[in-house]
Chains A and B, each alone.
Chain A
Amino acid sequence: MSSVITILYSIIVLIFLAFGAAIVFHLLYYKINRHVSGIMSLIFIIGAFLLLISNFILFKQVNWTQIFGIFRL
């Protein structure tokens, strides 16, 4: 697997995590209703974690060398 693709993937994941951190910050810092904020934060974190894990597994399963072999990345 090419390091360029890994770096690009890492950047995308970092962007996702940055947005995720901002969402959790807003939910927990500006809590108007503690119960709703807590539950929604939990749903977001669990969902994001599961999606990220499954995305990483799929990333590993892609044969990047075969697909982008012609570009010699």
Chain B
Amino acid sequence: MFGEIRFPGQHDDEQVILFLRRHWFIFLRRLIFVIFSIIGLVLIYFFFDLLSSNFLRSDYYNLLLFVESLGTLFIWNLFFILWIDFYLDAWIVTNERIINISQKGFFNRDISELKLTKIQDVTSEIVGVIPTILGYGNIYVQTAAEVERFTFYQIPNPNEVKNTIVQLQEKERKNEEVEMGQAIRGEL
């Protein structure tokens, strides 16, 4: 299912179980600025058009088109900047660990990981009307590792994700116990 997914430091036999990004509504909310900018450019055009009947034949008409075109250039960039911020923020749950990839603007990227066996407690929360309707929320993973708390922000179906993480953690812990038992008995 996640065969196309690749991340830095992936082990050869490591399987991606869940690949999570923020809910699409979060991206849509960020897009409102872009949408308002486009509406603003259109309104400015019609404002000047209505202001003077000779405007379309004046020298300032070309200037307006140039400025609007320049605005479009920067809106184009802004859209992709917002998209990159959304796209490169990800949480990956594998059969061995959880990886948190956090992109903060340009050239600021944090990658932290947590072994499933170090998980102590997993909590999911959905707060608010829109998150309840659309089904997105946060997951808090309490750990015994250096980073004490892992947070998945605004991800879709947090309850299902929480259950999957708990199941994986139990499976990994049992595997570890079996391996430890074999080591104690000298089978390994």
Binding site for B on A (CB under 8 A): 12, 16, 19-20, 22-23, 26-27, 30-36, 40, 44, 47-48, 51-52, 54-55, 58-59, 61-63, 66-67
Contact = CB atoms under 8 A, between A and B. Distances in A.
Interface of B: 4-7, 59-60, 62-63, 65-66, 69-70, 72-74, 76-77, 80-81, 83-84, 87-88, 90, 101, 103, 106-107, 109
Most buried by A among B7, B72, B87, B101: B87
A67 B63 contact: yes
A59 B68 CA distance: 11
Nearest to B90: A32
B6 A16 contact: no
Interface of A is mostly: helix
A35 to B, nearest CB: 6
Given A27-B84, A51-B72, A19 B77 contact: yes
Nearest to B107: A22
A54 B69 CA distance: 8
A40 B73 contact: no
Nearest to B71: A55
Nearest to A30: B88
A62 B109 CA distance: 42
